[in-house]
Amino acid sequence: MEHNFWHERWEKNEIGFHQNKPNALLEKHFRDLSLAPGQRVFVPLCGKTLDIGWLLAKGYRVVGAELSETAIQQLFEDLGVPPEISELGPLTRYRARDIDIFVGDIFALDSKTLGPVDAVYDRAALVALPEGMRQDYVAHVREITATAPQFLLTFDYDQAEMPGPPFAIDDGMVRKYYAADYDIERLEELDVAGGLKGRVAAREVAWRLRQR
């Protein structure tokens, strides 16, 4: 993972990937995971997404992982909640009621530190990683979450028209990464209004992954 790239994006506030409202596909389809209030949702590479506030408002507990401490400081400011901050080896934990965020390299996060997880909401992690890192990421998340069900969002567009991130992930790639361990269901796709980054026509696709 290009740590300096992401740190620089956050420090310069170059965060066009940050949405100013909860994700529409999340609002419509997250219930398809059939979670009960109080269950714990892992959001890898979460940034300061408003989706976390939405999940909390629905009664779920949230645990996240994020490289940028700036993003997490802003997340808690936006939530209006002062965090308890502690150091856990290479990671820093920001904690408040019903929410834990681990700041640092996601590959330094193990299952014991993460704790039990009932589902994964991958809104921006898989699409942020170059192809050479995705298999390792998928295997790592599967391991630390005990193959918990996932609600996955991807973008499908012509990668030749624009470099990532976010990277284009087509149906074949999703099945390549997940089919060995999950049953895969494509839930819905939506056109990205105005194009991805305002530059290229793209579709956002929602997937439900359940352990085989």
Instruction: Say which CATH number the domain at 169 has.
Output: 3.40.50.150
| 3-class SS of residue 121 | strand
What does the pLDDT read at residue 9? 53
For residue 72, being part of any structural domain is answered with no
d(CA 178, CA 135): 9
For residue 67, being part of any structural domain is answered with no
Residue 179 predicted with pLDDT over 50: yes
What does the pLDDT read at residue 197? 87
Q: Give the number of domains in the chain.
A: 1
Residue 10 predicted with pLDDT over 60: no
For residue 205, being part of any structural domain is answered with yes
For residue 128, being part of any structural domain is answered with yes
For residue 193, being part of any structural domain is answered with yes
For residue 66, being part of any structural domain is answered with no
Structural domain containing residue 54 = 21-59+108-211
Predicted confidence (pLDDT) per residue in 61-87, tens digit: 999 999 999 999 999 999 999 999 999
φ/ψ of residue 52, rounded to 5: -65, -45
From the annotation, which residues make up the binding site? 10, 45, 66, 123
What does the pLDDT read at residue 5? 55
From the annotation, which residues make up the binding site for S-adenosyl-L-methionine? 10, 45, 66, 123
For residue 54, being part of any structural domain is answered with yes
Residues 6+ apart with CB under 8 A from 67: 1, 3, 6, 7, 45, 103, 104, 105, 106
Q: How many helices (H) and strands (E) does the chain have?
A: 7, 9
What does the pLDDT read at residue 51? 96
Question: pTM for this structure?
Answer: 0.92
Residues 6+ apart with CB under 8 A from 76: 82, 83, 94, 96
Q: Which amino acid is at 63?
A: V
For residue 79, being part of any structural domain is answered with no
